[in-house]
């Protein structure tokens, strides 16, 4: 099992060990949510994600489809105590059955290093100065 959690420790989760797709997202929602130029995500099947904290510790913010790059709503799941966003639950059928884990919340750095960065989403919406920082083609 691979541990993860928020800054204050109120929300903890585990992922099954495995090889997941890692992807950057440059959409405006991710920029605001992370306070950064892009988000870094792991695409994990729901069956491989285990919330260890009580479900009521997780706060949810739904973004309606008029604001997302995909046109589908998405739900950001975060800790109301420390503000960390831990995962998103996209309503896009393309991601049915997947949790989009915010990669920075994974506590095992060595494990995270082994996950393959494969995609960049909404690169056209991103900041030009990010450039080809990761040297990957647009998905
Ligand atoms: Zn927290
Ligand atoms: Zn995004």
Q: What is the DSSP letter of 125?
A: G
The pLDDT tens digits of the residues spanning 113-132 come to 999 888 888 988 889 888 76
Near ion ligand 1, which residues have CB within 5 Å? Answer: 6, 8, 10, 79, 81-82
Number of the ligand closest to the Cα of 120: 2
For the chain, the straight-line distance linking the first and the last C-alpha, in angstroms and rounded, comes to: 29
Under 8 Å between Cβ of 43 and 21 = yes
CA of 51 relative to ligand 2 center, distance in Å: 22
Domains (range + CATH), the chain = 2-124 (2.170.150.70)
- From residue 11, how far is each of 95, 113, 116 by CA, in Å? 23, 23, 25
Q: What is the pTM of this model?
A: 0.90
Under 8 Å between Cβ of 78 and 97 = no
Q: Is 44 helix (H, G, I), strand (E, B) or coil?
A: strand
The whole-angstrom separation of Cα 72 and Cα 59 is 20
The pLDDT tens digits of the residues spanning 23-66 come to 999 999 999 999 999 999 999 999 999 999 999 999 999 999 88
């Amino acid at each position: 099992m691979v541990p993860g959690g928020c800054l204050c420790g109120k929300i903890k989760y585990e992922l099954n060990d495995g090889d997941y797709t890692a992807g950057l997202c440059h959409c405006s929602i991710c920029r605001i949510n992370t306070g950064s130029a892009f988000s870094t995500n792991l695409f994990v099947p729901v069956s491989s994600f285990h919330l260890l904290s009580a479900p009521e510790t997780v706060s949810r913010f739904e973004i309606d489809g008029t604001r997302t790059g995909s046109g589908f709503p998405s739900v950001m799941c975060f800790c109301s105590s420390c503000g960390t966003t831990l995962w998103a639950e996209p309503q896009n059928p393309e991601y049915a059955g997947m949790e989009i884990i915010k990669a920075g919340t994974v506590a095992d750095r060595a494990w995270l290093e082994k996950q393959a960065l494969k995609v960049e989403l909404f690169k056209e919406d991103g900041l030009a100065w990010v450039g080809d920082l990761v040297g990957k083609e647009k998905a």
